[in-house]
Every structure is written in C-alpha cells, then in structure tokens.
Amino acid sequence: MSDQPESAVSTDAEAPEAVPLEAYASELADRLGAEGFTVEFDTVRIHVSPDRWVETINAAREDLELFSWLSAIDWSKEVEVGDPVDDVDALEERFEVLCRLSSVENADGAIFVATLPRDEPSIASLVPTIAGAEWHEREAHEMFGIDFEGNTNLAPLYLPDDFIGNPLLKSYPLISREVKPWPGDVDVESIPEPDEEPGDES
C-alpha cells in the first residue's frame, strides 16, 4: 500500500488483455462512475469522490449486498508511534475512509475509498441506508475524529465521554509505548538441554 494518493489510478483496463480481476474492477468503476480503481494483492479498490460516497455505495450494493466494515487510514507526516514516514516532503496528508462490500453469491467484492482533508474531515453517513454502518462510523469518529454527516449517534464506544483526542491518529502519543517501546521486551526462558532439569541453569 502506497503512502501517496492514487494519482495514477487506472480508469479503465489499459492493457489489451487485462487479467480478470482488473477487468472486473474496470467494469465496476465504470458502471458506478467512480474516479478510478486499483488492484493490489488481489484486492480491488474503487476510488470514490466524497460528495458521491453514499450514492456510489448504494449503487454498488445492487451486486455487492453485504456491508462488511468501514474504517479509515490517517496519512500523516507527524508520527508518534511506529516507523517514521520515509519521504516526509512527498507525503500528501489526508484521511482515507474505506468501506468493504461483498457479494453473498460469489467471491466478488471491493473496498471503496474516499479521500478527505485532514483539517476538516467530513463525509455523509451511510446509516440512513445501511443501519449496520452506525457502529463503524462511531468508531472512526472516536478514533480518527472524522465527522459522518447524518449519523446522529456518534457517541463514544470505548473512551470516557470527557476523553480528549483521537487515539488512532498517528500524531497521538501512546504513553504505554513511551514506557515500553513497541514491540516491547519479551522475557523468554531458554530451552533446557536434554540432561538439564527445568530451572537448572548451572
């Protein structure tokens, strides 16, 4: 997965003999009027304009009826946890909202992606047409600070009501990692030799 927006996203199957997954992605993106598509690691990603998010998801559900999940990715230059960004100057800071839809009849499926600005991340809620999206949108709101317009129940799922911050932002410091850096020290006893009794290291 690249840390850059998909500026070179395919808008059709450019190769004369596209592989079946790319042909499927091209047909799906074209049918939905999406901005484009990518296929990586046998996964189809359909890139959607934020202002057509609900419209596109609803249209896709004609064939991909099953709503699997919704989440987000924080593409940030400021990283408090994990590896730093390789090329900070080249990174375009943004959020990506992702929604996975699948068929209940076959193996068809795709991840729909909308790109949001980091300063005011907001997108229309899927809840009016997909009630099961409420929990996922609440989690993304709580963990990333993304607003889902039309979702009237963005109450916290995990954190206290007076908690300040969004813990899944890459800029959010995790105190536990400052005390014990990831992946942490693992205390493992050595395996005793065949003629040793357990606990006997002499």
127-158 pLDDT, tens digit per residue, is 999 999 999 999 999 999 999 999 999 999 99
Q: Are the CB atoms for 23 and 16 separated by under 8 Å?
A: no
CA distance 93 to 101: 26
Residue 72 CB neighbour total at 10 angstroms: 22
pTM: 0.78
Give 179 or 164, the one with higher predicted confidence.
164
**Sign of the dihedral through C-alpha 45, 78, 174, 143:** negative
Residue type for position 33:
G
Q: Which domains can be identified in the chain, with CATH numbers?
A: 20-179 (3.30.460.80)
Give 11 or 43, the one with higher predicted confidence.
43
pLDDT of residue 52: 98
pLDDT of 7 over the 50 cut: no
Which residue matches tokens 């927006």?
5
Query: 3-state DSSP: the chain helix, strand, coil percent, rounded to 5?
Result: 20, 20, 55
